[in-house]
Structure 1
Amino acid sequence: MGKMLCHAAILLFIVQLALAASVEEYKSYKNYKYYEIEGPKDDINALVVFLQENYEVPVFSIKNSTLSMIVAPELVPIVENISNEKKLQSKILIEDYSEIINEEKLKPRNGLGFSWTAYYDIDDINEYLRNTSKNYPKCTEVIVGGKSFEGRDILGLRINTPSDKKKPVIFIESGIHAREWITPATTTYFINQLLTSENPDIKALKEEFDWHIFPSINPDGYHYSHVTDRFWRKTRSKRGLECDGADPNRNWDHNWMHKGTSSNPCAQTFGGVKVFSEIETKSLSEYILKLENLKAYIGFHSDAQMLLLPYSDSKQHVDNYDDLKRIGQVSLDYGYKVNQAKYEGPATAAEILYPASGGSMDWVRHVKKTRLVFTYELRGYNFTWPAKRIPEQGDEVTQMMLGMVVEARKLGYFD
């Protein structure tokens, strides 16, 4: 009996060690604080540069002369000291950001399967796509847009009702940045709307186009953001560098490494060791190149609450910029009617956000010559959004897609 108890105690100790290791592996962001700091723009920028060069800053954004930033507890005295020295106005809006993350990860307990009141990891999303294809076999099929570094398929859903005519293709990508959870959620919501809505306008959307919709084109990174680090942005590639992964929206072959990207492997915006170094971007680009009659390319990001036009690294306008601006504004107007949420734009990222090169939208515009290309920056707070409010943005996105199609049709873009 004593030997059994000893073995049991050893086993319990091993289990406890394993549990402790798993807890340590998941970055909880316990006691990380959400700061808002106001002051002269040069001082704000200097603060950000100093922190980025010397410490980890998981999330920050600068709008006008206001810095919003999540700060590790050990950095609080440093941030406070610099703010005091520079006479910056700082305040803590959230004392413990882990509470926001924990609330976001809660799953519904109704046992009804996939829903839009929770966030799901990549396997659940892929299962939803497969089940949806089984439930709607006449008009849907699971499609594979490429591979990930860890061997996952980049799964999407093609929605194409039977027809004798060749339909215009609309391609939707989301989840290219792992931590932007609201984008796969709203994309699957839109899929569900296309297939189940009784609204005749939404039914017409389904019938008129050949949809290729990919909820998560960075599946490794997305999974990692669920199980290890909520604010992970990049892919999960490993090349013996100091840090893993690259920013998959800085890795496409258009003005690569030109603006708004980094050659530092540890930076969130690391553009990769070369163009299309990431298998996700390389294989997805090959899929897109094979698409015939591609009339529109839509990317979903969060959380700047903007509508962006090509090219992202320039203030110069493409030849149909006025059309894109008009179509985009109608799209935003349709979305605004749902929740009265106002988006900035339409404009290039260089005009209203920041210049950024090597993105998917710009590559599609440049290489495929696709005339309708848009990037929707959805709403949120530091890449978080309450799960119970997913339908709120899902309904907005559905109406935005409708508005985009209605106005583009008027201007002859689907002829």
Structure 2
Amino acid sequence: MLLKLLIICVISAISTGEKIRYDNFSLYKIHPQNEKHLKFLNELPKNGDDLHIWKLPTTIGDYASVVSSPEKKDSFEHSLRKRSINYEVMLENIQQAFDDQIMSRKRRDTRNQLFWTNYQTMEDIYEWFHYLAEQHSDIVTVIQAGQSFEGRNITGVKISRQSGRRAILVEGGQVGADWLSPTVVTYIVDQLVRGAEPEILEAAEEFEWHIFPILNPDGHEFSQNADRLWLKNRRPTVGNSIGVDITKNWNSHWGVRGVSFVATDSNYAGLGPFSEVETRAISNYLDSVAGNLAGLLSFRSFGQRLILPFAHTLSHMYNYNETVIIGRRAMGSLAGRYNTQYLVGNSLEVHDGATGSIADWVKHRFNSPLVATYLLRDTGTWGYTLPVNQVLPSCEETFDSVMALVREAKFVGVL
């Protein structure tokens, strides 16, 4: 019943131009201690229509990140206590955190510039890309991978200081509610274009960078304008359901693990690999540069992990052993600035084991030497409500690690 009411509220909000509010919704970080706890938590999507599942645990010692409505709060906490499952209430009112995210960018003139002390809108990003291309026409080109289901451009930039260089594709914004990764990705653009340090100039000269900050423009806009917790794209699917989780829609062991085939679920993987226009558009773009593709870096929040291919197995395939060394050294560089700690490994080892990711597909199809997925800040204290005072530090430390990835990959002979 509550799910039906929420759908009605979303439809009403769209028609009236109002946003869904999450006043007094609580954010929980939940810690399973045994297999029974794991089973209960991983069955929450089936049992709680008014719970928003941001992250589920795969192992004992991992954590779940769950948002509960105020109506569900007492019964949800009771169900945890009666099973002796430890939990923390990280936020009593996530709407206040969302309001703070929006307030930070009011009264700020963003024409011809971006700020990395707050979250950015797609309009601001795209306008800035065109400005960069005008001001740095010798190295920056605006590129289009295609359009979303609702007809929005999937826009990026190509940074090329010398022709014929190997390509690295950088992408973010596959999850609507994830406002951090597009901002981090635009920071990478800014540094590669305007950074003057020798290591930055070298990376910008040795590789051709193809950078798309928002692969899911419809979901991103919907999270900005209607429902801050929206995760999927916006294509109608089954019945009254809308959206597919495009992080799980790529053609590498699609649907094997960590996904749902129920259209109303937030991790619904679609009818098949590349069922979504957004994933098809980017896959076609990657095919167009495949002969020169040295790497792919995918960015998402949250979890503080560097995920290496592949998610379907614990076996270390392709050049995993070299890449994990590179990744650990790079995450050491990331920690050097603010002591932010990342785990490094394949998804089954350090994350959720969900298959069908863009990184796994790129590794399988092209065997590019440097392929990884960043799960950015944090580890469940804030999740998608990450305060704006952590945005710039996230950008800075992540760029440090990207330069370290390139440096270490060259050092061990991977690049």
**Cα distance, 1:223–1:205 mapped onto 2, change above 3 Å:** same
Alignment-mate amino acid for residue 43 of structure 1: H
- Contact 2:308/2:346 (<8 A) preserved: yes
Q: CA RMSD in A?
A: 2.1
**Cα distance, 1:54–1:20 mapped onto 2, change above 3 Å:** closer
Aligned twin of 2:4: none
Describe the superposition over 1:111-144 as per-residue Cα deviations: whole angstroms up to 9, x where unpaired: 3543112222222221121111111111000001
- Contact 1:175/1:222 (<8 A) preserved: yes
Describe the superposition over 1:206-246 as per-residue Cα deviations: whole angstroms up to 9, x where unpaired: 12110000000111111111111112111111145331010
Which shifted more, 233-242 or 53-62?
53-62
- Contact 1:234/1:248 (<8 A) preserved: yes
Identity %: 27
Alignment-mate amino acid for residue 19 of structure 2: Y
SS at match of 2:90: strand
> d(CA) in 1 for partners of 2:234 and 2:19?
16
Aligned twin of 1:316: 315
Aligned twin of 2:168: 170
Describe the superposition over 1:174-223 as per-residue Cα deviations: whole angstroms up to 9, x where unpaired: 11111111100010011111112221211221121100000001111111
Which shifted more, 146-155 or 87-96?
87-96
> d(CA) in 1 for partners of 2:361 and 2:14?
45
**Cα distance, 1:37–1:390 mapped onto 2, change above 3 Å:** closer
**Cα distance, 1:238–1:82 mapped onto 2, change above 3 Å:** same
Residue 403 of structure 2 corresponds to residue 402 of structure 1: yes
Q: Match for 2:245 among 244, 247, 266? A: 247
SS at match of 1:266: coil
Q: Match for 1:53 among 47, 66, 71? A: 47
**Cα distance, 1:85–1:239 mapped onto 2, change above 3 Å:** closer
State the Cα distance separating 1:301 from its structure 2 match: 1.1
**Cα distance, 1:77–1:301 mapped onto 2, change above 3 Å:** same
> d(CA) in 2 for partners of 1:249 and 1:364?
13
Alignment-mate amino acid for residue 196 of structure 1: R
Alignment-mate amino acid for residue 124 of structure 2: D
State the Cα distance separating 1:318 from its structure 2 match: 1.1
Residue 121 of structure 2 corresponds to residue 124 of structure 1: no
Q: Match for 1:354 among 352, 355, 364? A: 352
SS at match of 1:86: coil
- Contact 2:28/2:91 (<8 A) preserved: yes
Aligned twin of 1:386: 387
- Contact 1:182/1:384 (<8 A) preserved: no
Describe the superposition over 1:307-350 as per-residue Cα deviations: whole angstroms up to 9, x where unpaired: 111002211111311110111112112211111111011x1001
Q: Match for 1:30 among 23, 34, 38? A: 23
> d(CA) in 2 for partners of 1:374 and 1:260?
18
Alignment-mate amino acid for residue 252 of structure 1: W
- Contact 1:183/1:300 (<8 A) preserved: yes
- Contact 2:174/2:247 (<8 A) preserved: yes
Aligned twin of 1:327: 326
State the Cα distance separating 1:153 from its structure 2 match: 1.2
Residue 146 of structure 2 corresponds to residue 138 of structure 1: no
State the Cα distance separating 1:92 from its structure 2 match: 2.8
Aligned twin of 2:7: none
Alignment-mate amino acid for residue 95 of structure 1: E
Q: Match for 1:274 among 265, 272, 275? A: 272
**Cα distance, 1:377–1:283 mapped onto 2, change above 3 Å:** same
- Contact 1:59/1:382 (<8 A) preserved: no
SS at match of 2:51: coil
Which shifted more, 351-360 or 237-246?
237-246
**CA radius of gyration, larger in:** 1
**Cα distance, 1:85–1:147 mapped onto 2, change above 3 Å:** same
Which shifted more, 383-392 or 318-327?
383-392
Alignment-mate amino acid for residue 123 of structure 1: E
**Cα distance, 1:36–1:299 mapped onto 2, change above 3 Å:** closer
Aligned twin of 2:6: none
Alignment-mate amino acid for residue 400 of structure 1: S
Alignment-mate amino acid for residue 389 of structure 1: Q
Q: Match for 1:79 among 76, 79, 86? A: 76
Which runs of no fewer than 5 residues in structure 2 stay unpaired? Answer: 1-11
Which shifted more, 220-229 or 117-126?
117-126
Describe the superposition over 1:356-397 as per-residue Cα deviations: whole angstroms up to 9, x where unpaired: 111111111111121211111111322232223322111112
Q: Match for 1:69 among 66, 74, 84? A: 66
> d(CA) in 2 for partners of 1:19 and 1:40?
40
**Cα distance, 1:37–1:375 mapped onto 2, change above 3 Å:** closer
Aligned twin of 1:206: 204
Which runs of no fewer than 5 residues in structure 1 stay unpaired? Answer: 1-17
> d(CA) in 1 for partners of 2:217 and 2:63?
33
> d(CA) in 1 for partners of 2:213 and 2:13?
32
**Cα distance, 1:20–1:238 mapped onto 2, change above 3 Å:** closer
Count of matched residue positions in the alignment of Structure 1 and Structure 2: 393
Aligned twin of 1:14: none
> d(CA) in 2 for partners of 1:66 and 1:411?
34
- Contact 1:36/1:91 (<8 A) preserved: yes
Alignment-mate amino acid for residue 56 of structure 1: D
Which shifted more, 151-160 or 73-82?
73-82
